[in-house]
Amino acid sequence: MRILLVDDEVELTDPLTRLLQRQGYGVDVASDGETGARKAISGQYDLLILDWMLPKMSGLEICQAVRSQALSTPVLFLTAKDTLDDRVDGLDAGADDYLIKPFELRELLARIRALLRRPVSPPALPQSVLQFEDLTLQVENQLVSRGGKSIELSEKEVQLLAYLMRSPHQLLTHAQIYSAVWGEGSAPSSNALAAQMRLLRRKIEQPSQPVLIHTVYGKGYRFGAAT
């Protein structure tokens, strides 16, 4: 069983990694959210253990990124955020369990065993046809149309549009888009991402048509009709 531990507290991750390895688990560690997200969405882990407050990208955003990829990997939050609203937010984002720091190691190990005993559904197949209002994307055939008119997109533009269309009305951060569309080690600069978005907008948004891709300045993008 492989576990991904994402936490920036070395004084926690080092002893916890040794403990889990003694229990027979394979453990990888990430100390920031962007690295954790890239590893998490790879789909090679049986359990994700996430801190909430992380550099670059929060544990909540990692969980959302994992679920947006139709991955059913169990997620356990280890966090000092202990209000009811925090727990609700974590569970709504797709977490399976929630343990407040500080915690007893016996309880943590028991919760890990319980999560790993749960049957995990196979990942859902990606939707082959995506539809939003008058915009249609046939993912496998890379065919795009809006208002009945065909639109030519590059392979990367199809991947980017598909990711946006699968998460309508949600804020997708730059880090989430990098991880989902470009993958680990090949993310473009922020300027390159902005340029790619401009090209995509020109193709799917004519002057007479409602805007679908909205910039959330300093954070990322949101796909959908303006509210």
* One domain, residues 134 and 160: yes
Provide the pLDDT confidence category of residue 50 given band limits of 50, 70 and 90: very high
Lowest mean pLDDT among 5-14, 31-40, 105-114, 121-130: 121-130
Q: Which two tokens stand for residue 91?
A: 């569970």
pLDDT per position as a tens digit, 142-154: 889 998 899 998 8
In a domain, 51, yes or no: yes
CA distances from 225 to 189, 199, 208 (A): 27, 19, 14
* One domain, residues 81 and 161: no
* One domain, residues 103 and 15: yes
- The mean pLDDT value for 111-121 works out to 79
The proportion of the chain whose per-residue pLDDT surpasses 70, expressed as a percent, equals 90
Domain that holds residue 49: 2-117
Tell which of 73, 97, 117 closes a domain.
117
* One domain, residues 81 and 156: no
> What pLDDT score was predicted for residue 125?
43
Q: Is the pLDDT of residue 227 over 60?
A: no
Using a 10 angstrom Cβ sphere, with 0-12 exposed, 13-18 middle and 19 or more buried, the burial of residue 194 is middle
Pairwise CA distance, residues 144 & 135, whole Å: 7
* One domain, residues 135 and 193: yes
Verdict on whether the full-model pTM lies above 0.85: no
* One domain, residues 76 and 159: no
pLDDT per position as a tens digit, 52-71: 889 988 988 998 888 887 78
* One domain, residues 112 and 172: no
- Helix (H), strand (E) counts: the chain: 8, 12
- Pick from 3, 137, 127, 135: nearest CA to 69: 127
Residue 223's Cβ-side half-sphere holds a number of Cα atoms within 13 Å equal to: 21
In a domain, 124, yes or no: no
Q: What is the tally of structural domains in the chain? A: 2
User: Degrees (nearest 5) of the Cα angle 65, 71, 77?
Assistant: 60
8-state DSSP, 177: H
CATH number of the domain encompassing residue 151: 1.10.10.10
> What pLDDT score was predicted for residue 14?
93
In a domain, 78, yes or no: yes
